[in-house]
Amino acid sequence: MSGTAPPARPATPVIGARPSGFFTDMASVSSRALRLLPRDLEAIVPAMLVPLFFLVVTIGAIQNLAGEAVSGIDYKAFQLPVAIMTAVTGMSRANSLVTDISEGYFDRLLMTPVNRHALLLGLMVADFTLFVVMSVPVIVLGFAIGVSFGATGLPGLVVFVLIGALWGLAYTGFPYAIALRTGNPAAVNSSFLLFFPFMFLTTAWVSREVMTDWLAAITWFNPMTYALEGMRSLFSGWDGWALGRALLSLAVVGLLAQTLAFRSLRGRIRRG
């Protein structure tokens, strides 16, 4: 009998858990949300085309008339921010969240050690990416009809897109709050109706100077007015006052909407 030792068996690789944490969880949620975007093209494509249609029709219908009532920039540039904000407002992964709730996937996630805030923030990262992408066709059409950022150049274009995307991100708190409280897709789809009336109470079509006194007074209290004015200022130069008011308006809307969303998240977690 030989005294040699039997050959050593190859070591079995140790499979450990992937590193976890807030940012890892948020990245996982956002990457899943982004992968699911192609399934929602029937909702995304109309949300991109409708603002383009109304941009062209509005300019064609009232440019000659309203252009005289708008000072400082061309009426086509005056309308471009309206198209951006119409495209991104109300678009979110809230419908996807409702599906996860109804199918039990959200409750299964709550049984894991995933960071609870990451469940919502990851979806918002995907939303912000979507908003930037949805701005591209509007910008391309704007260039095609003669709009330019000659006074601020490429940095102005980037800030223009960021303000629009941040507005969309701030507003997402409303559909997410509705989704988490109701779990009803029809209720989530109606969240756009919260925005639609407010759009008419802004300087969306003409300057404040030519409005009736009562409507002009209301526009001072509508945060969308300041977001629009901040975006429009980028066509004529860098206006720190207009941009500052735009960012403040985004902060106000975001604070209100996101507070509602995260309170609704806590309520859903307690019920789960």
Q: Average pLDDT of 19-47?
A: 84
**What's the pLDDT tens digit per position in 183-194?**
888 888 777 777
**Poorest-pLDDT segment among 195-199, 225-229, 237-241:** 195-199
Q: Name the average pLDDT for the chain.
A: 86
Is the CB of residue 36 less than 8 Å from the CB of residue 96? yes
Is the CB of residue 76 less than 8 Å from the CB of residue 161? no
Q: In the chain, what are the domain boundaries?
A: 22-271
Of 63-72, 158-167, 177-186, where does the model show the most confidence? 158-167
**What's the pLDDT tens digit per position in 85-121?**
988 887 888 888 998 888 888 888 888 888 889 999 9
The pTM of the full predicted model, rounded to 2 decimals, is 0.86
pLDDT of residue 15: 47
